[in-house]
Structure 1
Amino acid sequence: MAERPSTVEEFRATYEDMLGFVPPRVASRFEQGEPEVLLAQERLRNLIMYPEALDQKTVQLVLFGILHAKLSDAAKLHGLAALRAGASWDELRAVIDLAFLFTGYSAANRGPQLLADIADLEKKSHG
């Protein structure tokens, strides 16, 4: 990432770039959050989300795996972001299988629905 964002609109654009849209919860935070707190949160998110040591495909696959292992609904957003960053469906399935090792059958059982949700989001983000 060449130049880091510094304004609310520039930070909002990072979500558009990553997902093709701003997720509803994030949009609410942008609309109703205290501007200085919002900027501080987004600076920290941006600093961590775009490390020099990892490409975005890797970052998004790691986040997808962590969130899926926690059974978080945010996993689908990072699964979509991973696809947009160049990951394949096979890579997403492999990450779901890895989450099974430490989360168990809950992760395995949620995997197919998670992939279907990601496919729906992908269709919506393409217009």
Structure 2
Amino acid sequence: MGHASLDMDVVRSEIGSYGETKKTLSEREQEYRDLVGFVPPRIAARLAVTGTLDPELLRLQEEVRDHALYPACFDTKTSQLMVFAILLAKLLDAAALHARAARRAGATWEEMQAVVSFAYLYGGLPSANRGAEIIAQLAESEGKDRAGSAV
């Protein structure tokens, strides 16, 4: 099983419908779209599966996530830069999502590189290499988006 996108209609037909009562599935998904521009496949699966089979746990997960990820003392950009650094130092693939979120929250290329430099101190060249790759991919994506919108 890879990380390709899931056919959520098939998932719903097998396990049932989303059952959380505090927020709709669409509202939960929109929070991720606002943050990174789309709903990452693993998150989409967690929202759909846990939101159906254990909706109270999903609500708690999302509350803890929001509480930890958005403390009053940090703006979204700062929080996302820190999460990017932590995940990058650990070479976790979610680093790319949080790098994207940091850029969407206003992080500059210089700030992104500073995060890669932090991660390098604790993760070595693999973190530096992966960080540079993530920044290059973001730059490419943003450049293509700008070129596409200019047409």
1:76 offset after TM fit, Å?
A: 0.5
How far apart in 1 are the matches of 2:73 and 2:85?
18
Q: 1:64 to 1:14 in 2, by over 3 A?
A: same
Give distance in 1, aligned partners of 2:43 and 2:141: 16
Paired residue for 1:95, among 88, 109, 115?
115
2:39 — aligned with what?
Answer: 22
Which residue matches 2:96?
A: 76
Q: CA deviation at 1:106?
A: 1.2
Which structure carries more relative contact order (alpha carbon 8 Å, separation 6+)? 1
Out of 23, 29, 36, the position equivalent to 1:7 is: 23
Following the alignment from structure 2 to structure 1, what is the Cα–Cα distance between the partners of residues 92 and 67?
A: 22
Partners in 1 of 2:100 and 2:140 — Cα distance? 10
Q: Any stretches of 5+ residues in structure 2 without a counterpart?
A: 1-21
Partner of 1:31: 48
Q: Is 1:117 the counterpart of 2:137 in the alignment?
A: yes
Distance 1:73 1:118, change over 3 A: farther
Counterpart secondary structure, 1:104 = helix
- TM-score w.r.t. length of structure 1: 0.85
1:35 Cα offset (Å): 1.3
- Secondary structure (helix, strand or coil) at the match of 1:109 reads helix
CA RMSD, aligned part only?
Answer: 2.0
C-alpha deviation, 1:50, in angstroms: 1.3
Greater C-alpha radius of gyration: 2
What is the CA-CA distance between 1:119 and the residue it aligns to?
3.6
Change beyond 3 A, Cα 1:121–1:32: farther
Structure 1 segments, 4+ long, off by >2 Å, are: 8-12, 116-124
- Per the alignment, residue 3 of structure 1 pairs with none
Once the two structures are superposed, residues 74-100 of structure 1 have per-residue CA deviations (whole angstroms, 9 ceiling, x without a partner) of 001000000011101111111101111
Q: Counterpart of 1:95 in structure 2: which amino acid?
A: V
C-alpha separation in 2, matches of 1:91 and 1:106: 19
Corresponding residue for residue 58 of structure 1:
78
Query: 1:44 is matched with which residue?
Result: 64
Q: TM-score, normalised by structure 2?
A: 0.72
